[in-house]
Amino acid sequence: MKSNANTKEKFIETAYKLFQVKGYNATGLNEILKESGAPKGSLYYHFPNGKEELALESIELAGEKIATNLRKMLDMFQNPIDGIIFNINNMAEIIDHNKKMEDMSISLIALEIYDSSETLRTACEKKFESIERIYVEKLIDYGINENKAKDIATAISALTEGAIMLSLTRRNGEALRKVGDQIGKLIDG
């Protein structure tokens, strides 16, 4: 039974990594099979609804990893501004050093599927909301009222996701650093 669980996890992890790097549409099931090293028959055993079901699990995994990393970064600081800036600068460093962007964003898959799969679009929406909720909680603890905290969290999320895209395109983390430079002004006014 453990082998079946390991095979399923291997599929999810492989799909997650490929979707992060290549995107949903550019990643085929044969590539996932090859990269995972798992037997072909086991793919449809674990994911009878195919690629979309596998992508759903992959989005769940990505969201969990992103949320875990974000909480870890923010928990290192008493002041959420410092934690948010540290997290953003950490992403900039990853891009500067041309490391894989795993555990940073689900934007690539979200952009690809928003009008082609309501199931996957909804899954991405929920993950973005859960990430924003982490910011909201930290901002409320900092003394910001809930409505303002929600607005700021959405702005941080939008700015960060956009800056990730610009940084990846430009192959440097400068856009992320510029967003980080504005976080204090955004939160404290």
Tell me the domains of the chain and their CATH numbers: 56-188 (1.10.357.10)
Weakest mean pLDDT among 64-68, 77-81, 104-108, 157-161: 104-108
Find, among 33, 147, 140, 138, the residue nearest to 85 by Cα. Answer: 138
Helix, strand or coil for residue 164?
A: helix
Instruction: Determine the pLDDT at residue 137.
Output: 97
CB atoms within 10 A of CB 33: 16
Phi first, then psi, for residue 128 (nearest 5°) are -60, -40
Q: Which two tokens stand for residue 64?
A: 């969990």
Interatomic CA distance for residues 119 and 28, integer angstroms: 19
Helix, strand or coil for residue 145?
A: coil
pLDDT, tens digit, for every residue of 20-62?
Answer: 888 899 999 999 999 999 888 899 899 999 999 999 999 999 9
Residues in the chain: 189
- Full-model pTM: 0.88
Instruction: Determine the pLDDT at residue 1.
Output: 42
Q: Which two tokens stand for residue 156?
A: 């941080």
Q: What percent of the chain has pLDDT over 70?
A: 95
Interatomic CA distance for residues 107 and 81, integer angstroms: 23
Interatomic CA distance for residues 116 and 35, integer angstroms: 26
Which amino acid type is present at position 25?
N
Instruction: Determine the pLDDT at residue 5.
Output: 64
Interatomic CA distance for residues 155 and 63, integer angstroms: 19
Check: CB of residue 84 under 8 Å from CB of residue 156. yes
Q: Among positive and negative, which fits the CA dihedral 8, 48, 130, 173?
A: positive
Reported as a pLDDT band with limits 50, 70 and 90, residue 139 is: very high
Instruction: Determine the pLDDT at residue 39.
Output: 85
